[in-house]
Amino acid sequence: MRLLTKSSPASVLVNKKVDEREAIMSYITDSFDVIVVGAGHAGVEAALAAARLGGKTLLATLSLDNVALMPCNPSIGGPAKGHLVRELDALGGQMGISADLACIQMRLLNTGKGYAVHALRGQEDKPYYHTLMKKIVEEQDNLELKQLMIDKLLVENGQVVGVEAETGEVFEAKCVILATGTYLRGRIVYGQVNYECGPNGLRSAQKLSASLLEHGVELMRFKTGTPARIDARSLDYSKMEPQYGDSEVRNFSFMSELKTREQVPCYLTYTNEETHKIIRANLHLSGMFNGMIEGVGPRYCPSIESKIVRFANKDRHQLFIEPEGRSTNEMYVQGMSSSLPAHVQLQFMQTIPGLEHCKMMRAGYAIDYDCLNPLQLKYSLEHKAISGLFSAGQSNGTSGYEEAAAQGLMAGINAMMKIQGREPLVLRRDEAYMGVLIDDLVTKGTNEPYRMMTSRAEYRLLLRQDNADLRLTEKGRQIGLVDDARYERFTNKRSAIERALSEIGKMNLAPSEENNAKLVAMGSTPLRTGTNMLDLLRRKEITYAKLQEAFALPELNDEVAEQTEIFAKYEGYIAKQRQEVERFMKLENKRLPEDMDYHAIKELSSEAAEKLDKVRPTNIGQASRISGVSPADISVLMIALELKRRREQDQ
């Protein structure tokens, strides 16, 4: 260690007062390319990405027991979230691979709907997932994992230069990634219980918020919560409906080799009028209703108290009882997040079928925490005013493990792109759900914990979970995260799809009696004129497997057959959506100068000028998505851009 002096690069905020007369000097312990603050899902992906791209990386966590912790639901994936996991995997991230290994039940959701909204959801073994991820982090080259409480961000002349821990140790860095989750001034609330704490009884970071504010970072106060955990041995499963996983083995990762999986059931039960009566009688004791909670809660994952009030006409609400792992008796009560006193939580749970004699192992709680206003961030997730400061995950106002991991991967990649002098990786809305997520955050901001949903993506048909590798693996390869084995598998699959489409497009079928008999047997209509196999595959009732069996088509593996079938059935719709993307790109390609003075454009509405000045959009497309900017304002901007171009031409 060396003494930090005023002439040292990280000389900001390094003296710690012991009393009025003497001070302890902080010491520079080490220097890194990237420091990641927080080791949740965002932090782990960020640190792994930075290290795998060759950066000397430090992953600092409040506790080594926090690494990839699942403080809330024991699952990964679901609608839109499963898309994020598959995209993250295609780019070379870790979550999908680990989720497959720790999975105790896998289901493909929305199978009754179109391919665009199909989504995998995996029930995870929480303790094993944490153990697995911690081991991966510990064994990663270029990556150091340390248990540290980071108290200060060190900034000099608008540039991050490092962080200071509560131990007095200073760690220098070229880039710092904040992945603080719900730990920034975290405060647990249930009933009248109110104490400074992070999830699962772990410490919260009480000083870092003040340091961020000192450097001009704008913070918001949000709230989230979690349900009680109950003892599996105290439940009556005969009164609940078992929910089993799919018999067909599915995986998140395009690299997973798992062919078998021993699955554990979940259970479905419901609240009733007696449950609701107890909750209503105790609403005044809930942290949500007694003024104890400061933060804004998530609209799409409300507490049971909010459900009872908001949906007063509903006579029951469904609950899923989910195992937290193979080696624990804890069961998660999905759908019953609460900030009521512990004894009230137990009382109303014991009115529910199957839970009459349940024993509560952990009470549910709400948690208040600080997070950044994401409007301060660029598309790369770098802070606009502080060079080298990146932020990812719940510290950007999002909710969910998957949203956090996706941002973490992008922040880790872009921190290294900055260090290496390369252009940042920015995914557009038509390229990935990750692009939709980040564009929504940095363009529109959020006034509540943001949750990714399929309805947020306007190009859903292009952004299916089944084609995430076809969309993004090339980008991951160019960045440097996709290794040779993954790339070879990807190129083989892509070639097989192209070959299959070409071959069946050339296979003609005559309207013979024999051929028509086979089609009728498939539940399809006979041919009147000749056609090819690709056109036959466009029929709703026909699958590649049926054609292969009836007409001896080439044998394809499941992934290639699925992609061939989707292309045939949706080619027209996909082409139409690509035309929409072309129109979208015309606005995205109209760049806005970084130094544009929006207040000087008198024809703009005052609200538009204010919003544009705050967000500083990079192009007309982004400007058009800012809340408060009207189509008329966009027309004014287009004219201003054209006038500016002409003036520059004349000069």
Q: Determine whether 503 is exposed, middle or buried from the number of CB atoms within 10 Å of its CB (0-12, 13-18, 19+).
A: middle
Q: Which residue has the higher pLDDT, 253 or 291?
A: 253
Mean pLDDT on 451-462? 94
| Confidence bin at 646 (pLDDT 50/70/90) | confident
pLDDT at 360 over 70: yes
- Which pLDDT value is given to residue 236? 98
| Confidence bin at 5 (pLDDT 50/70/90) | very low
Beta bridge partners of residue 509, listed in sequence order: 531
C-alpha–C-alpha distance, residues 209 and 189, integer Å: 20
- Spatial contact of 210 and 13, defined as CB atoms under 8 Å apart: no
- Which pLDDT value is given to residue 595? 87
Tokens 């995870």 appear where? 124
pLDDT tens, residue by residue, 617-641: 999 999 999 988 999 999 999 998 8
Residues 6+ apart with CB under 8 A from 618: 379, 591, 592
Which token pair is 505? 């497009």
Indicate the SS3 state at residue 355. Answer: coil
C-alpha–C-alpha distance, residues 238 and 230, integer Å: 17
pLDDT at 19 over 50: no
Instruction: Tell me the CATH number of domain 2-11+27-220+369-479, given options 3.50.50.60, 3.30.1280.10, 3.40.50.10800, 3.40.50.300.
Output: 3.50.50.60
Same fold, 2-11+27-220+369-479 and 590-650: no
Which token pair is 114? 């179109």
Which token pair is 398? 């999002």
CB count in 10 Å sphere of residue 284: 7
Cα distances (Å, whole numbers) of residue 401 to 71, 167, 408, 457, 585: 10, 30, 10, 19, 31
- Which pLDDT value is given to residue 24? 40
Q: Determine the angle formed by the axes of helices 544-551 and 513-521, rounding to 10 degrees.
A: 140
544 backbone φψ class: left, alpha, beta (φ>0; ψ -120 to 50): alpha
pLDDT tens, residue by residue, 211-236: 999 999 999 999 999 999 999 999 99
C-alpha–C-alpha distance, residues 363 and 553, integer Å: 58
pLDDT at 243 over 70: yes
Q: Where are the domains of the chain?
A: 2-11+27-220+369-479, 229-368, 484-587, 590-650
**Percent of the chain with pLDDT strictly greater than 70:** 96
Instruction: Number of helices (H) and strands (E) in the chain: give both, helices first.
Output: 19, 25
C-alpha–C-alpha distance, residues 471 and 463, integer Å: 8
Average pLDDT, the chain: 92
- Which pLDDT value is given to residue 6? 37
Which token pair is 409? 């991967």
- Spatial contact of 81 and 445, defined as CB atoms under 8 Å apart: no
- Which pLDDT value is given to residue 85? 98
- Which pLDDT value is given to residue 4? 38
Mean pLDDT on 67-78? 96
C-alpha–C-alpha distance, residues 327 and 264, integer Å: 12
Q: Determine the angle formed by the axes of helices 81-90 and 95-102, rounding to 10 degrees.
A: 120
**Percent of the chain with pLDDT strictly greater than 90:** 85
Alpha helices by DSSP H, listed for 400-458, are: 401-419, 433-439
pLDDT at 612 over 90: yes
Q: Determine the angle formed by the axes of helices 401-419 and 41-52, rounding to 10 degrees.
A: 30
Q: Determine whether 147 is exposed, middle or buried from the number of CB atoms within 10 Å of its CB (0-12, 13-18, 19+).
A: middle
- Which pLDDT value is given to residue 88? 98
- CATH architecture classification, 229-368: Beta Barrel (2.40)
Mean pLDDT on 341-363? 97
DSSP secondary-structure letter at 368?
E
- Which pLDDT value is given to residue 10? 43
pLDDT at 30 over 70: yes
Instruction: Tell me the CATH number of domain 590-650, given options 2.60.40.10, 3.90.1150.10, 1.10.150.570, 1.10.1740.10.
Output: 1.10.150.570
Among the residue ranges 110-119, 144-153, 460-469, 485-494, the one predicted with the least confidence is 110-119
Mean pLDDT on 151-166? 97
- Which pLDDT value is given to residue 64? 95
- Spatial contact of 125 and 330, defined as CB atoms under 8 Å apart: no
C-alpha–C-alpha distance, residues 456 and 448, integer Å: 15
C-alpha–C-alpha distance, residues 430 and 445, integer Å: 19
Instruction: Tell me the CATH number of domain 484-587, given options 1.10.10.1800, 3.30.565.10, 3.30.1330.30, 3.40.50.720.
Output: 1.10.10.1800
Beta strand 143-147 pairing with 508-509? unpaired
Q: Go through 522-556 and write b for each residue having 16 or more CB atoms within 10 A of its CB, e for each that does not.
A: bebeebeeebebbebbebeebbbebbbebeebeeb
- Which pLDDT value is given to residue 292? 76
| Confidence bin at 189 (pLDDT 50/70/90) | very high
CA atoms in the 13 A half-sphere facing the CB of 299 = 8
Beta bridge partners of residue 367, listed in sequence order: 188, 224
Mean pLDDT on 321-330? 97
